[in-house]
Structure 1
Amino acid sequence: MTASPQALEMAGIAARAADEKLATDIVVIDVSGQLIITDCFVLASAETERQVNAIIDEIEDKLREAGHKPLRREGTREGRWALLDFNEMIVHVQHVDERDYYSLDRLWKDCPIVEIEGVETSRRAAASATGTDDSLAPEEPQRDQGL
């Protein structure tokens, strides 16, 4: 099963809007084969609570301009993990600390990543999808090179 064309269109709008507000680690994941409640997740990170909310506002504005209204909006008061639910697509914008801790990329690593034109896919998500993500692995100790 693959995400609906409408969900993919909405995800593209959301990903580009997040990119405009300088979100990092932007990725679109097709979860339609695993979930019946939605087709796509859009994940993005931000350095500050204020930026999380700015990204969410921009995504919501761009999607409203395209005729899509969210069913639910959560987490904007705290600005650590904000969520927009558009039924066919759910947007998660997380502070980088929450993104690392909850690791949604790894949780959904078996689902396909959707390439969005104009937005570079997160290297972390791409590595996680291929099973080569060592960004969260313990660091190797440095050997004394006798220098």
Structure 2
Amino acid sequence: MYELSVTRLIAAPPAKVWDVLTNRMGEWWCPRPWRAEVERMDRAAGGQSLIVMHGPDGEVNRHPGFIAAWDEGRRFAMTDAITGDLEPAGPFMLGIWEVEAEGSGTRYTARARHWTPESMAHHKEMGFAEGWGICADQLQALCEGA
């Protein structure tokens, strides 16, 4: 398996982390000064998603996807390999976001699984560790804040 991942131990209960993870995506989904708008998020396996990322210089990146899994309170997974009405697309990755109770807090893990070692290497070169790490830090700050 060709996987990259980030994890954080968040000092908040799993229910709170899940709430922030799924209901406040626009606040943590991409590294600032970028911002994200969730235009669609069908909260069920087989649903569709559309997240639009806006850059500080007017950049707009639309990310349509397919919900591969939605296990309420535990994890969700999305891929860009399927869009629209089950239309195959050029796959880059399968993203998996998970929360699990650990001690008095929550273990958050985000994984990016790739079809080939080349696509994983490309994602790594794009700055996966830094970018997804910043997003994890932003999520953690939201969860541990007020």
Q: TM-score, normalised by structure 2?
A: 0.28
- Which of the pair is proportionally richer in strand? 2
User: Highest Rg: 1 or 2?
Assistant: 1
Q: TM-score, normalised by structure 1?
A: 0.27
Structure with greater contact order relative to length (CA < 8 Å, sep ≥ 6): 2
